[in-house]
Amino acid sequence: DIISKPVVSIFECKHIGIIENVLFDKSKKNVEFLIIYNEKDDIEYAINPKSIINFDNYFLIKNTSVLCLKSDLDLQLNNFENLINKK
C-alpha cells in the first residue's frame, strides 16, 4: 500500500515524488526511512516516516525541509535493511 504512492508538499503545493522503498531497522523492529523518488529531477530523498501523513491515495508532508537527499545519508542508510529492493 505504500510503494508508488505520490508525496505532496503542503507548503510548496507541489508533487515531490513517489515512495520507492522502505528501510527497516531490525534491532528496533520498525521503519526508519521512506525513500522518495522524484522522477522529474531524478533525485532520491529519505524521510522519517513520522514526518509524513498517510491518506488513501497519497502522502502529505508539511514542507520540503523534512526531506534529506538520500545520497547525503548513504553511509547511515547502509545500516538498515532494504525491504523492497533488496540488493
**Per-residue pLDDT reduced to its tens digit, 38-48:** 999 999 999 99
- Whether 15 shows a pLDDT value over 90: the answer reads yes
The DSSP element (H or E) to which 6 belongs, if any, is strand 6-9
Residue 51 to residue 60: CA distance in whole angstroms: 9
20-35 pLDDT, tens per residue?
Answer: 999 888 788 889 899 9
Higher-pLDDT residue of 52, 30: 52
pLDDT at res. 64: 95
What is the structure's pLDDT at 40?
95
